[in-house]
Amino acid sequence: MDTMREGGSLIDARTLARHLGVSLQAVYRLSASGRIKKYVIGHRTIRFRLDEVLEALAGEEQVHQSPSPAAARRTAAPAPASLPPFDWSKRS
C-alpha cells in the first residue's frame, strides 16, 4: 500500500511550525536530524504528515524552541541571597 495514501494529508513546513508552536527553522532542524519524517516532492518541495510528526514527537517533552519573553521572565533565576544590600550612602 502507498504510504502517502494511508491517512493524513501532507502539509508544508510553515503549517507544521504553526501547529507545533515552533519556528520554521526548528521544523527544518527536526527534519534534518531525522526526528521527523519528510516527503520530498520534486527538487525543493518538502511536506510532512501531521499524524506521523505528532507520533514521532509524542514522547518528547518539548521541541527545542526559544521561550517567549514572558516565559523567560517567569523562569529567570532570582538574585543570589548571599549578596549584601547595596549601601547607597557610600557611593562617590
Q: Are 50 and 19 in contact (CB under 8 A)?
A: yes
In sign, the C-alpha dihedral spanning 58, 68, 32, 2 is: positive
Question: What string of pLDDT tens digits covers the 92 residues of the chain?
Answer: 444 455 579 999 999 999 999 999 999 999 999 999 999 999 999 999 999 999 999 877 655 555 556 665 666 666 556 766 777 777 65
CATH 1.10.260 fits 3-69, yes or no: no
The rounded Cα 63 to chain-centroid distance in angstroms is 4
pTM for the structure as a whole: 0.58
